[in-house]
Chain A
Amino acid sequence: MNFQLTEEQELIRKNIREFAAKYVEPIAAEIDENERHPTELFKKLAEGGWMGIPIPTQYGGSGADYLTNAIVVEEISRSCSSTGFTVSIHVGIACMLILLFGNEEQKKKYLVPLAKGEHMGAFVLTEPGAGTDVMAATTTAAKDGDFYVLNGTKTFISNGPLADTYLVFCWTDKAAGRKGMSSFIIPRGTPGLIPGEHFHKMGLRSSQTSEVVFKDCRVHKDNLLGKEGAGLTNAMTGFDHGRVGIAAQSVGILQAALDESIRYSKERVQMGNPIARHQAISWMIADMATDLEAARFLTYHAAWLKDQGKPFSKEASMAKLFAAEKAMHHTIKAVQIHGGYGYIKGAKVERLMRDAKITEIYEGTSEAQRMVISGNVLR
């Protein structure tokens, strides 16, 4: 058993930590407050090759592994969860799905600019009536010669307002059940693809989220991602990869909660002592540190399995479930440690607590993760 990261992974962690401290941390509160997508920051991330880490260099990526990507998402999220997540969904789902299921031409046309960070990707699956119940989706793609005509409404689409490349999942043959859904790569500007306005959210506020509406949107059959009918399988593979990213994001949030709690509890004096010396506080911090380690190991293990070419669906769900729930639990504790100061806008722990909640909801709720895990262990 080897718990040692490679020298490259360790150096990359140091570098992204320095990058995050220099460019992400100083703007994190502002972009949260103003719900702003920091274009200038993503340009810098693209320059450093941080937007396509596990994508091979011939497709515009950096050619590292998926564990390195998880480490980077974690470290960015430690400074700004919104930014970490935007990298995560762009790389973990949009880029990875084209890499895994796209043909050579699609990879050259769509993956290269995505992996270089020149374009942003979006994963377009959820609908107003179809969250955990993916089969309840109603968006359709009707065949018309060499074209498909899409109609329907998707919602809660991360990067929805700003993406250049949308990966869209809809029914090509509803009667075929699980084999009736297909996935398409649709570039922004395609007539009939209508991105909506940014939703105002409780947390993760600088990540841009919207509806995406399809109104007689005609796409050529060349835009099919994988075979017709493979949409659901593609989506589930996307989730497996994406969940490692959300787990990493949650680990970053947890680490930040621990960093802030340690710093504040050593400074804050009550009843003649720093509150870190009060057992009520120090035990909260002990639990936080322990759960952080456990969440990190689960996450890295899932990423490592992926890099070894082994099945990792169950482990990705376990990592995502555990890390997300612990991030929520401990960011509440971190605010408690900060007392009134933690409840004031501008306190980092206040933002962490709001940002943590979504990790229990998106890319499969905690309940959906338990369905995946129990389905795996009970079969």
Chain B
Amino acid sequence: MQRPSALGPYQKQGIPMLDIIVCFKWVVDEAFIRRTSSGDLDFSSVDYKISEYDRNAIEAAVRLREECGGSVTAVTVGPPEAAKGVKDALSRGPDRAVFAEDPLFGGLDPSQTAAVLGQVISSKTPFNLIICGEGSGDVYSQQTGPRLAEFLGIPCAAYVQKLTVKEGRVTAERKVEGFIEVDSLPLPALVTVLPDIATPRIPGVKDTLMASKKAVIKVGKNELTAVPPPLLKTKSVRAARVERECEKFTAEVEDIKRFVAALQKRGVLK
């Protein structure tokens, strides 16, 4: 698939203002998923929410704007019902939103989501920093952010817990496998952030009411070049099953022996 120019006219002008894009996903609120007696998941009465990780990402973006000046644009890809999510996102502080909307956008895989986001961002929204949550609250593939950076041809740091922006570079503190790595990336860049980056605010009444007054740029599927075919196909989703045997042991010597034997029998101890 042909990629559009990664950097829009805004970036080419080299404007130093920090224009942040924060990506978010409108996901099923897992509290409403029911499990049927056959082990299937019942989504018939679910509600939706902004993915938990993305709420922290939005908060990080808004705080960075408060610190450095500039703007925050919230961007999402989703079905028309995600319009409520756009309002929710805007109530958390971004200045405007871009919403790539199509009934088919509810079931994209990460490569497709990244491709749509990439096209929308490069054509509609000037930026010099993109912030994504480390993964989405539903499938948590953790791919969309890095794939989007790849699509736009900009540097990427994932799993970031602290961010500072100075003199055209972003310093990203990454938490990886028991140690902390500090990276310096030239802007424009993309970071995926851990929940530790910022605790999301609870929007006040006026924040929610004001959200309806902020600009939302809607992008239809027909404004994009073809969405690539999925690389990943979800064949089924079923509830995890935990089998419990409920065997009881006391602290008596005989029981301890029996306990060890039981663990050995099940391969827990060798």
Residues of A with Cβ closer than 8 Å to B?
A: 7-8, 10-12, 14-15, 18-19, 22, 47-50, 53, 57, 62-64, 68, 72
Contact = CB atoms under 8 A, between A and B. Distances in A.
A218 to B, nearest CB: 38
A48 B204 CA distance: 4
A273 to B, nearest CB: 15
Contact of A8 (B87, B202, B204): B87
A197 B88 CA distance: 44
B83 interface: yes
The 6 closest A-B pairs by CB, nearest first: A48-B204, A62-B205, A49-B205, A49-B204, A7-B84, A49-B206
15 contacts: A7-B83, A7-B84, A7-B87, A8-B208, A11-B84, A11-B87, A11-B203, A15-B202, A18-B202, A53-B205, A57-B206, A62-B204, A62-B206, A62-B209, A63-B209
A8 B209 contact: yes
Interface of B: 49, 83-84, 87-88, 91, 202-206, 208-209, 211-212
Contacts of B211: 8, 11
B205 A48 contact: yes
B87 A15 contact: no
B90 to A, nearest CB: 10
A11 B83 CA distance: 12
Contacts of B87: 7-8, 11
Contacts of B84: 7, 10-11
Nearest to A22: B202
A15 B209 contact: no
A53 B205 CA distance: 7
A12 B202 contact: no
Contacts of A57: 206
Nearest to A21: B202
Tell which of B49, B83, B202 has the most Cβ of chain A within 10 Å: B202
A15 B206 contact: no
A173 to B, nearest CB: 41
A64 B204 contact: no
A62 B205 CA distance: 6
Nearest to B88: A11
Contacts of B208: 8, 11-12, 15
Contacts of A62: 204-206, 209
Contacts of A63: 206, 209
Contact of B205 (A7, A14, A22, A68): A68
B83 A15 contact: no
A64 B209 CA distance: 8
Nearest to A54: B205
B91 A11 contact: yes
Contact of A50 (B49, B88, B204): B204
Contacts of A49: 204-206
A18 B202 CA distance: 7
Contacts of B88: 11, 14
Contacts of A53: 205
Of A8, A18, A63, A68, most buried by chain B (CB within 10 Å of CB) is A8
A53 B204 CA distance: 10
A72 B88 CA distance: 17
B83 A12 contact: no
A10 B87 CA distance: 11
B144 to A, nearest CB: 24
Contacts of A48: 202-205
A40 to B, nearest CB: 16
Nearest to A6: B212
Contacts of B49: 14
Contacts of A19: 202
B212 A47 contact: no
B148 to A, nearest CB: 27
A294 B83 CA distance: 30
Contacts of A15: 91, 202-204, 208
B202 A64 contact: no
A15 B88 CA distance: 10
A72 B209 CA distance: 14
Nearest to A19: B202
Given A8-B212, A11-B208, A72-B205, 9 more contacts: A7-B84, A11-B87, A11-B88, A11-B211, A12-B205, A15-B91, A48-B204, A57-B206, A64-B209
A47 B204 contact: yes
B200 to A, nearest CB: 9
A15 B201 CA distance: 10
Nearest to A18: B202
A359 B208 CA distance: 31
Nearest to A12: B208
A357 B203 CA distance: 33
A193 B84 CA distance: 49
A6 to B, nearest CB: 9
Contacts of B83: 7
A95 to B, nearest CB: 14
A336 to B, nearest CB: 27
A11 B50 CA distance: 11
A50 B202 contact: no
Given A8-B212, A11-B84, A50 B206 contact: no
A49 B206 CA distance: 7
Centre residue among A7, A10, A18, A63 by max chain B CB count within 10 A? A7
A240 to B, nearest CB: 23
